[in-house]
Amino acid sequence: MPQVDVLNPLDFTLSPPQFDKIPHDVLIPDLPLFPHLPPLLSGHPDLHLRNGILAADSSPASHDPDSERAFFVADLSQVYRQHLRWQSCLPQIQPFYAVKCNPDPYVLRLLAALGTGFDCASNGEISQVLDIGPVDPARIIFANPCKAVSFVRNAAKMGVDMMTFDNADELYKIARAHPRAKLVVRILTDDTKSLCQLGIKFGAPLATVPGLLAKAKELSLTVVGVSFHVGSGCYDPSVYTDAIMRARAAFDMGTDAGYRFSLLDVGGGFEDALFEQAASCLTDAIDTYFPDQSGMKILAEPGRFYVSKAFSLATNIIARRAPLGETPAGSSDQPSVMYYINDGVYGAFNCILFDHQTVHPYVLSMGGSFHVPATEPLHTSSVWGPTCDSIDCVCPTTQLPRALRVGDWLGFDNMGAYTMCAASQFNGFQVSKVLYTLGGFKASEVWGVLAKFAAEHV
Ligand SMILES: *Cc1c(COP(=O)(O)O)cnc(C)c1O
């Protein structure tokens, strides 16, 4: 693996990058573990952000009609480190990665190799997971409480037995299409402390649970446990305590209905910055409300926890609208300059609309240099996507260097969760592609895990 210097685009005090130190062969598919996937690059992701920019800046002569296209850089070692973090904080809870968050082929393979399960919501997601190799269908939970009957039938055919429900109609469908399913009742919990609330659409209020369980019994269905979801992007982990208390009540309702529940599914919602806090709330609550965990299986459905920090996006400034003649520096806190970049809310930045995110650009390169002096004067700016719709605003107000021009590059971190999976091609703009890297720290371990998986499954 080539040894390279770690270059941090956030560090404005760096001396100018030494281009002769950047190996020029890193874009060559030197590690073809999965021949049908894009190459896996070695070296730090920041290096590849820079290499991608250098490649774009030097390619106009190649007549590529989209030479300055935006691109992601994925750091697979970040996904790996999150898994180690999960195992150290929640060793008793088995993660079932929520595929919808980012069904990236490398992420799915790495997680499969690490032994996680998968939360799938559709036939498409189930096929995607089963297609990566012989993944045991017992490692999948079909965690969509409202499924098309054909999807239920197909799950039965594929051997996916574990599935959630929260209403009586679902029970009739499952009784017809998959009578041997192992059902999990999804209960309603407090989701008011989350970016994306789910309770308006899913979850059985506790008062309805005894009736649902009686109906399941009447239909000779097997209910094995309880699930909940506190909402995606949960910013107050104390809600897990209340959720576990309700799950306990639902377990007791199961006993009253003649079932012996053995599965507790604590859902998703885990925010990177609050993970340790959430883990400790959960652990304490589970120990309090489920003092006897023998014979019990506990799982979770983390999505954004695994991927949000693992992807960065590099975008090119394709246009600029500025007042003719320069305005004095710092004259106004109203945006004076509009920058247009080549990904927007119809693409990767759909997370602004759907996932209620705010994003923060930083300068990746300016005037052909990766070095932006800390003394660079700033002005209040806005950043827009490339489409013809005015809703396509990435950043309504932000401070950017006054010298920033068309052709310069802006970077965005934390772009791995709920971004490209929901991107459209509206107005003819393609979804930004990914450069895959093994990452900086623990890259060789990631390589080892993937190489072993590839040897067994390709
Ligand atoms: C979206 C979703 C998840 C993942 O949520 P995160 O907040 O990304 O962890 C898990 N389970 C279900 C049922 C979901 O719908």
Residues 6 or more apart from 59 whose CB is under 8 A from it?
Answer: 67
pLDDT of 7 > 90? The answer is no
Determine the distance separating the centroid of ligand 1 and the alpha carbon of 98, expressed in angstroms. 6
Average confidence (pLDDT) over 100-122: 98
Q: Is 309 in the pocket of ligand 1 (CB under 6 A)?
A: no
Here the tokens at position 440 are 């900086």
Confidence band of 403 (pLDDT split at 50, 70, 90):
very high
Name the residue at shortest CA distance from atom 5 of ligand 1.
268
Long-range contacts of 273-277 (CB under 8 A, 24+ apart): 274/234, 274/235, 274/237, 275/85, 275/89, 275/305, 276/89, 277/237
Q: Is 304 in the pocket of ligand 1 (CB under 6 A)?
A: yes
CA dihedral sign of residues 323, 349, 82, 370? negative
Cα–Cα distance measured from residue 405 to residue 32, given in angstroms and rounded to the nearest whole number = 38
388 is catalytic: yes
pTM: 0.91
Q: Nearest to residue 122, comparing CAs of 147, 149, 96?
A: 147
**What are the pLDDT digits (tens) for 212-245?**
999 999 999 999 999 999 999 999 999 999 999 9
Q: Nearest to residue 248, comparing CAs of 264, 234, 230?
A: 264
The one catalytic residue among 196, 281, 388, 395: 388
Identify which of 101, 202, 270, 305 to mutate to test ligand 1's pocket (most ligand atoms within 8 A of the CB): 101
Confidence band of 458 (pLDDT split at 50, 70, 90):
low
